Amino acid sequence: MPEKKEGVDWYSLSLTLHRFYGGKIETIPKVPVRRIKDFAIWYTPGVAEPARRISKDPDESFELTSRWNTIAVVSDGTRVLGLGKIGPEGAYPVMEGKALIFKFLGGVDAVPLVHRGRDPEKFLELLELVEPSFGGINLEDIESPKCFYILEEARKRLNIPVWHDDQQGTAAVTLAGLINAFHLVGKDIRKARIVLIGAGAANIALYRLLKKYGVPPENIVVLDSKGVLHPDRPDIDKLMISHPWKYQIAIETKGGGLPPGAGPDKALEGADAVVAASKPGPGTIKKEWIAKMAKDAIVFAEANPVPEIWPWEAKEAGARVVATGRSDFPNQVNNSLVFPAVFRGVLDVRAKTVTDEMAIAAAEELAKYAREKGIHEDYIIPTMEEWDVYPREAAAVAVKAVELGVARKTTTYQEEYERAKTIIATVRKKYEMLWENGLIPKPPVDYE
């Protein structure tokens, strides 16, 4: 069913415009070509010298080529948006859209790389084989639990940052929202009871971040479609083989002290916060359950297009802070607030990896930015329009990479902030010039 907002049929408009423009991105040179002879610099014979230099020291590829600012957006098309297994070609427009956002918000050159390597080992081999072309890898829309294995292994095998946005991106922006929501209600997140409904990529990564952030595992309850992840679940030993990530959560949280077999209604009793990243609502989360939560309850209902519970229903049931995945409600938990900035930061220091600590650094900076602006019930996270948040996050991530010893180049917060700001502003300026000069044709159809 098409999602219509203000009468706009986004599906039909999108199809028309994708056909009109023939995709969304292209490559544009950034060096002067004043006359044909200039190619002797950029291509043969001149280029032989940078090539020789890089051959002796491969890390020079980050300085002498565009590798430092180029990443691959990689998907096997096995779990695309809410569309499921639509194949690599089907995933292409989504990856291309991601690449557009990377450039626009982070100044990062991103290349869609969709492929047929559904087998995790083939997928990993592909990443290893193409590593020399890129400064980072953004994994996207890969089915669970395969995505956990691929991320874990790729992080071990590759010497460039590998990020799975459906895991770390969503988890980091959720963490930022939670930090500020707890700030607002005056509770200590590290002493709070937090319930995660849904055990897919986002919530499993959020569990990992919360733990690293200092929330004791026993304070966290995670539920999948069969109920609470609990050491006494009948399928616990089978999970050890089939889904070690759910297994680990069950063992570490001990089911949050709940009886085995408990469902979300029981889990939410007395809870301070709930993060649902499960199946679209409405009614996935019931008002009666929210009513049983602790005072000043925090409710994040992140399913798209329809949240697990409508924000007004959650509020009527007693929730104080509500966030969703939608841009038409306050407090949008949106990955786009994180991934362009994280890659800006890691690329600028030529980082060898991107760790959970770095994702937390991005989340903290995002939260701090909103606090400085003044948080309230309807503003716990910045919006995508507040673009100064991107260089700030990039700076926080870059400094953390240096601190952790995973950066090839050193920097300071201020230096990276200025650099990121310049890079992103320059992209916007170039883009505006193309638009204003009519080099990007006007769309033949539009929305109001």
Partner 1 sequence: MYEPGILVRKPREEELDQLADLIKRFYIFNEEFDPAWSIVADPDNTARIVAKEYIEGAGETLVALIDSQVVGYIHAEIRENKMLEAGKIGVITEVYVHPQARRRGIASRLVEEMQALLGEKGVRHIAAEFPAQNIVAKEFYSKLKFRPYASIYLREV
- Binding positions for partner 1, 252-291, rule CB under 8 A: 252, 254
Q: How far is the CB of 231 from partner 1 (least distance, A)?
A: 4
What is the spatial distance between Cα 217 and Cα 92, in angstroms, rounded to a whole number?
A: 38
Q: How far is the CB of 123 from partner 1 (least distance, A)?
A: 19
Pick the binder of partner 1 from 240, 294, 404, 427 (CB under 8 A): 240
302 token code pair: 């992140």
Q: How far is the CB of 321 from partner 1 (least distance, A)?
A: 34
**207 is annotated as an active-site residue:** no
Pick the binder of partner 1 from 250, 319, 347, 397 (CB under 8 A): 250
Question: Where does this chain touch partner 1 (CB under 8 A) — which range of 168-176, 233-241, 277-285, 434-442?
Answer: 233-241
Q: How far is the CB of 233 from partner 1 (least distance, A)?
A: 8
Residues 6+ apart with CB under 8 A from 444: 16, 20
Question: Where does this chain touch partner 1 (CB under 8 A) — which range of 125-133, 149-157, 247-255, 368-376?
Answer: 247-255
Pick the binder of partner 1 from 82, 231, 257, 443 (CB under 8 A): 231
CB-based contact 202:302 (threshold 8 Å)? yes
- By beta-carbon proximity to partner 1, the closer residue of 17 and 251 is 251
The pairing of beta strand 8-9 with beta strand 4-5 = antiparallel
CB-based contact 10:2 (threshold 8 Å)? yes
Q: Can you name the residues that pair with 112 across neighbouring β-strands?
A: 73
Q: How far is the CB of 252 from partner 1 (least distance, A)?
A: 7
Active-site annotation holder among 98, 103, 400, 421: 98
- By beta-carbon proximity to partner 1, the closer residue of 212 and 254 is 254
Question: Where does this chain touch partner 1 (CB under 8 A) — which range of 84-92, 234-242, 362-370, 438-446?
Answer: 234-242
Decide if residue 238 touches partner 1 (CB under 8 A).
yes
Decide if residue 237 touches partner 1 (CB under 8 A).
yes
182 token code pair: 């707890």
The pairing of beta strand 70-75 with beta strand 8-9 = unpaired
326 token code pair: 């939608």
Decide if residue 305 touches partner 1 (CB under 8 A).
no
Pick the binder of partner 1 from 8, 236, 294, 384 (CB under 8 A): 236
Decide if residue 31 touches partner 1 (CB under 8 A).
no
- Tell me the longest C-alpha to C-alpha distance in the chain: 76
Active-site annotation holder among 11, 21, 43, 431: 43
Whether omega before 307 lies within 30 degrees of 0, making that bond cis, reads no
Residues 6+ apart with CB under 8 A from 372: none
Question: Where does this chain touch partner 1 (CB under 8 A) — which range of 132-140, 176-184, 245-253, 430-438?
Answer: 245-253
Distances (CA, A) of 97 to 10, 85, 110, 111, 299: 14, 18, 10, 10, 29
Residue with tokens 């199809």: 15
- By beta-carbon proximity to partner 1, the closer residue of 8 and 251 is 251
**21 is annotated as an active-site residue:** no
- By beta-carbon proximity to partner 1, the closer residue of 86 and 251 is 251
What is the spatial distance between Cα 244 and Cα 170, in angstroms, rounded to a whole number?
A: 21
5 membership: H or E segment, kind and range: strand 4-5
Q: How far is the CB of 232 from partner 1 (least distance, A)?
A: 7
What is the spatial distance between Cα 294 and Cα 290, in angstroms, rounded to a whole number?
A: 9
What is the spatial distance between Cα 232 and Cα 255, in angstroms, rounded to a whole number?
A: 9
Question: Where does this chain touch partner 1 (CB under 8 A) — which range of 218-226, 244-252, 325-333, 363-371?
Answer: 244-252
Residue with tokens 């939670």: 178
Residues 6+ apart with CB under 8 A from 266: 228, 258, 259
Q: How far is the CB of 257 from partner 1 (least distance, A)?
A: 12
| Dihedral over alpha carbons 367, 369, 373, 377 (to 10 degrees) | -20
Applying CB under 8 A, the site for partner 1 has a residue count of 11
Neighbour tally for 118: CB within 10 Å? 16
- By beta-carbon proximity to partner 1, the closer residue of 121 and 316 is 121
Decide if residue 212 touches partner 1 (CB under 8 A).
no
DSSP, collapsed to helix, strand or coil, labels residue 272 as coil
Pick the binder of partner 1 from 31, 36, 241, 445 (CB under 8 A): 241
Q: How far is the CB of 30 from partner 1 (least distance, A)?
A: 49
Question: Where does this chain touch partner 1 (CB under 8 A) — which range of 34-42, 119-127, 250-258, 344-352?
Answer: 250-258
CB-based contact 157:149 (threshold 8 Å)? no
What is the spatial distance between Cα 140 and Cα 129, in angstroms, rounded to a whole number?
A: 18
Backbone angles phi, psi at 406, to 5 degrees: -110, 10
- By beta-carbon proximity to partner 1, the closer residue of 46 and 257 is 257
Q: How far is the CB of 217 from partner 1 (least distance, A)?
A: 10
* Catalytic residue IDs: 43, 98
- Please report, as ranges, the residues that interact with partner 1 according to CB under 8 A: 231-232, 236-238, 240-241, 250-252, 254
